[in-house]
């Protein structure tokens, strides 16, 4: 495959689309937001998932224009849902550490917020621990935070930096990685890592999201352990934008 060569054509031809996976408040069981997930409708290879092309895009620099396109698509979609009166805030968008190292990133995000008439707290950026290792990325995070954008630490529990950077980076939420949630298999498994992570997050005044929730048992366990928000196949797979309005009306 030579995906690298078709990146710029793909952008021009609008082959990137977003799917949306609901996030559910465990206290009310209402949808409290969506995570936008990029897919590439490739004319030859069919639908490509981010696992196939994000790393390649990061390595050749394409993740910067791609990331802006993703943000633009998410903001445009959100503005439309907002106009229709759909309660879908916030929209969470994944951001590569490479995007954050760009000094203009924060202002590009704020320009999109303005262009689509959104308020900053309606956008949440999902970052990874890797972003906390780079000084210019950390600078972007502080800038975004100061402008009122929400930050969520994705894939928590998989990195090697552990808790070291948590206090120096201004995140609002922790997303517990699905590999940890998968270990909650039945009622006699008390998954100490998950429950301690929830306690840690509370002590730091962070909201906790569990991702990759696949069973009712996991959902119940997480609710009892004090987790705030859940996301995963048990609640819904990622769905296309046109399925979202109907999904919200029947779920809530």
Which parts of this chain interact with Na ion (CB under 5 A)? 154-155
Q: How far apart are CA 66 and CA 126, in angstroms?
A: 16
The residues in 71-110 that bind Mn ion, with binding defined as CB under 5 A, are 94
The residues in 65-104 that bind ligand G, with binding defined as CB under 6 A, are 70, 94, 96
Applying CB under 6 A, the span of 5-13, 48-56, 76-84, 199-207 interacting with ligand G comes to 48-56
Phi, psi (degrees; rounded to nearest 5) at 144: -60, -45
The least CB distance from residue 72 to ligand G, in Å, is 11
| Residue 37, CA distances (Å) to 2, 21, 54 in order | 22, 8, 11
Q: Are 235 and 32 in contact (CB under 8 A)?
A: no
Cβ proximity to ligand G: between 92 and 225 the closer is 92
The residue within the footprint of ligand G, chosen from 82, 178, 207, 221 (CB under 6 A), is 178
Q: How far apart are CA 77 and CA 88, in angstroms?
A: 11
Q: If binding is defined by CB under 5 A, does position 126 make contact with Mn ion?
A: yes
**CA count, 13 A, side-chain hemisphere, 170:** 15
The residues in 205-244 that bind ligand G, with binding defined as CB under 6 A, are 211-214, 232-233, 238
The least CB distance from residue 21 to Mn ion, in Å, is 9
The residue within the footprint of ligand G, chosen from 3, 11, 17, 37 (CB under 6 A), is 37
The least CB distance from residue 232 to ligand G, in Å, is 3
Q: Are 171 and 151 in contact (CB under 8 A)?
A: yes
Q: If binding is defined by CB under 6 A, does position 33 make contact with ligand G?
A: no
What one-character-per-residue DSSP string does 115-149 give?
HTT--GGGEEEEE-GGGGGSHHHHHHHHHHHHTT-
Tokens of 69: 């396109």
90 binds, among Na ion, Mn ion, ligand G, none (CB under 5 to 8 A by kind): none
Cβ proximity to Mn ion: between 6 and 178 the closer is 178
Integer Rg of the chain from CA: 18
Parallel, antiparallel, or unpaired: how do β-strands 207-210 and 150-156 relate?
unpaired
Q: How far is CA 165 from the centre of its chain?
A: 19
Q: If binding is defined by CB under 5 A, does position 228 make contact with Mn ion?
A: no
The least CB distance from residue 40 to ligand G, in Å, is 10
Cβ proximity to ligand G: between 166 and 212 the closer is 212
Residue ranges that bind ligand G, judged by CB under 6 A: 21, 37-38, 49-51, 54, 70, 94, 96, 154-155, 178, 211-214, 232-233, 238
């Amino acid at each position: 495959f030579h995906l690298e060569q078709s990146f710029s054509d793909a952008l021009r031809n609008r082959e990137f689309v977003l799917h949306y996976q609901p996030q559910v408040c465990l206290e009310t069981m209402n949808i409290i937001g969506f995570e936008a997930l990029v897919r590439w409708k490739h004319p030859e290879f069919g639908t490509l998932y981010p696992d196939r092309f994000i790393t390649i895009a990061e390595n050749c620099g394409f993740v910067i224009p791609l990331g802006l396109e993703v943000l633009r698509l998410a903001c445009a979609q959100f503005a439309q849902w907002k106009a229709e009166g759909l309660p879908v805030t916030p929209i969470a968008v994944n951001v590569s550490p490479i995007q954050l190292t760009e000094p203009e990133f924060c202002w590009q995000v704020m320009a999109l917020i303005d262009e689509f008439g959104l308020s900053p707290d309606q956008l949440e950026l999902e970052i990874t621990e890797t972003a906390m290792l780079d000084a210019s990325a950390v600078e972007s995070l502080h800038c975004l935070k100061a402008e009122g954008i929400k930050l969520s630490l994705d894939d928590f529990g998989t990195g090697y930096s552990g808790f070291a950077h948590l206090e120096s980076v201004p995140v609002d939420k922790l997303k517990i990685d699905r590999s940890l949630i998968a270990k909650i298999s039945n009622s006699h498994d008390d998954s100490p890592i998950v429950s301690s992570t929830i306690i840690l997050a509370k002590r730091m005044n962070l909201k906790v999201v569990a991702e990759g929730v696949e069973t009712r048992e996991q959902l119940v366990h997480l609710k009892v352990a004090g987790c705030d928000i859940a996301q995963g196949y048990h609640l819904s797979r990622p769905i296309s934008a046109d399925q979202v309005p109907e999904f919200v009306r029947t779920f809530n």
